[in-house]
Structure 1
């Protein structure tokens, strides 16, 4: 649950691993590959050396696809990060949720420009002025409930196993006034997607995670992606994340993700996220009208569409995607609109992060 889409920035909370990496090639090879794997590896080594416990990426460059990694999977072992490892994707969850809402729009079950009050009466004090579009676009003005949580290391450790109901999260937000009149400004707020998840549940009559599984995960064969609910562990192979609290190094891998709910609780892999991004950007998950809505931005939204964000690289190339951050894990999935070039990344936090290096070099090599 980071405050922005594509910036890894707070996305890391990282630090010095100081361990070299290993590139792991996938079967497909293109002799005319544009992306230099050695440059990618050096960038990952810099990221791990300066700011994270471990990092893995999956790069698609036309017909070429490869994975690379650096750092270690654990603080007490030289074992490398598994390139098929699962991780918490944080706010990338929002893109899945927005996709489901837009599918429901295409089926005539919800109107993007209808007030939330129509579908969730009484939930929001200003629900008659906040539209479904405002939620997906972060133009609702709803106070970001995570700002009211104890997200310092000591607070995270103290509350890591607490189970939160979505209504509790919304109540943290609605206890504060709107940050601005709906539709007049843009501000990233996790509250928007908690409400969006509740909207999906109201419209489908099932937990939002069931709708995500039925409408996205199963059709795309994303068998390593899950909506954990209150499950504290990560199933399958995975690297571990750390922080320092009370002067001690704490393994924060296990956490009750209900605190993030539809704003950031999902678990996935680089392979699954890449397949999802490819299908979404390629128009295989939404009808044409909703595909246009997905990437529709306003001057005030700073490149943010409906659960997906555009960012221009220094060389002028525009990429679409989302990033995510939740204690222990930071992630990114981005690609060009034609889906020919894509990058998916997961980084695990270390207890004493330094200043992040190598990240911009990685993006420049892949996209520029």
Structure 2
């Protein structure tokens, strides 16, 4: 259910980005706005040639001090062969976590939640009695140690149950027959569990639905026009790219899918334009106030679970490419592979959505890799 680490994706992207990219026979559509960033042509080539075996469409936005650019490629719907225009909605996946973190950090600023407050304090009975105290800040930066819920991972089973609505509390508790993965605050493990617990916390301390809180505190505040929490509704409303999953040699349309299984960790529907607006509003302090905003740019000083260094902040990830430090988030659902990244001062921004035919594979996606490498440059040398 969780997206592979952004840092790992970047490392592979840099390797793949070093290879020559052959231009497509039919170049993807692109629309220039004001000055064009110097990386635009490389990104244009990175998304050329769609639809292809690994992806049916792509939308990319570049922004920052060097100008703005929108590029699209492929088919938004392979049945009608309709080309994307760049304003189509898509499932954002774990990018939702950045929105959830923003709500939680606002509530911390208002004193309705405390960074040092515990799940046991706010939601008594949710965690097993033998679990240690888990703090809100540990949910935010993936250091809680809580075990993930149990869900079948087979695509065929999930496809057959794609219209099922899940109870959020039951899903959270479904893995609590297992021991803690590690002592809270000692390691970082990127999973969905902490953010679904945050969804429950948000509802408890506000007395309102998670969806309403996200809408009022983030979507409306950032001026987003085409973003909403899907909840139990399996449809993507309005113009959107269709998502496809390659299964046994056949492309299955997976656009309609109940996202209650991901909820506060992954149910958002959005557009590349809205994600660009969100990034700008967030980084400029219009969504989360200081001093809480600084937590979205701080990686905890702990090792990553399974080895390596921690790479995630509260709601975002930190990556270093092309001699610059970027903060952003990726997200995937079946048929959709997305991401955004920006320097803290917004001098360089990237937003993309790829309709990958195997979006939840454990390997880094080639089209995504080419986009990141072309837009952000090689990995920063230590």
1:321 aligns with 2:328: yes
Kept in 2, the 8 Å contact 1:140–1:181? The answer is yes
Structure-2 separation of matches of 1:76 and 1:87: 17
Query: 1:344: which partner in 2?
Result: 351
Deviations 1:303-339 (A, max 9, x none): 21101110011x2211101000111211101111111
SS at match of 1:56: strand
Structure 1 gap segments, 5+ residues each: 10-17
Structure with bigger helix share is 1
1:24 aligns with 2:14: no
SS at match of 1:259: coil
Structure-2 separation of matches of 1:318 and 1:345: 18
Alignment of structure 1 residues 1-368 onto 2, 5 Å: 1-6=1-6, 20-26=26-32, 28-30=33-35, 33-45=36-48, 49=52, 51-62=54-65, 64-125=67-128, 129-145=133-149, 148-245=150-247, 248-300=250-302, 302-313=310-321, 315-350=322-357, 356-368=365-377
C-alpha displacement at 1:225, in angstroms? Answer: 0.3
Deviations 1:321-365 (A, max 9, x none): 100011121110111111121111111132799984354443233
Deviations 1:130-162 (A, max 9, x none): 1001111111111122xx322322122111111
Query: 2:307: which partner in 1?
Result: none
Kept in 2, the 8 Å contact 1:330–1:348? The answer is yes
Deviations 1:26-53 (A, max 9, x none): 4x312xx442422111011267545211
Structure-1 separation of matches of 2:70 and 2:52: 19
Which has the higher mean CA deviation after the structures are superposed, 53-62 or 75-84? 75-84
Kept in 1, the 8 Å contact 2:37–2:66? The answer is no
Question: Given the superposition, is the C-alpha separation of residues 36 and 309 from structure 1 closer, same or farther in structure 2, using an over 3 Å criterion?
Answer: closer
Kept in 2, the 8 Å contact 1:29–1:63? The answer is no
Alpha-carbon RMSD? 2.4
Kept in 2, the 8 Å contact 1:224–1:269? The answer is yes
C-alpha displacement at 1:88, in angstroms? Answer: 0.4
Kept in 1, the 8 Å contact 2:115–2:135? The answer is yes
Question: Given the superposition, is the C-alpha separation of residues 6 and 287 from structure 1 closer, same or farther in structure 2, using an over 3 Å criterion?
Answer: same
Tell which has more relative contact order, 1 or 2 (C-alpha 8 A, sep 6+). Answer: 1
Structure-2 separation of matches of 1:42 and 1:299: 38
* Runs of 4+ more than 6 Å apart: 351-355
SS at match of 2:245: strand
Q: How many residues were matched structurally?
A: 355
Structure-2 separation of matches of 1:155 and 1:262: 22
Deviations 1:71-118 (A, max 9, x none): 211233332123100000000100000001000111111111111111
Which has the higher mean CA deviation after the structures are superposed, 247-256 or 325-334? 247-256
Structure-1 separation of matches of 2:95 and 2:5: 8
SS at match of 2:94: helix
Structure-1 separation of matches of 2:25 and 2:100: 37
Question: Normalising by structure 1, what TM-score?
Answer: 0.89
Which has the higher mean CA deviation after the structures are superposed, 329-338 or 342-351? 342-351
Structure-2 separation of matches of 1:72 and 1:182: 45
SS at match of 2:163: coil
SS at match of 1:73: coil
C-alpha displacement at 1:58, in angstroms? Answer: 1.1
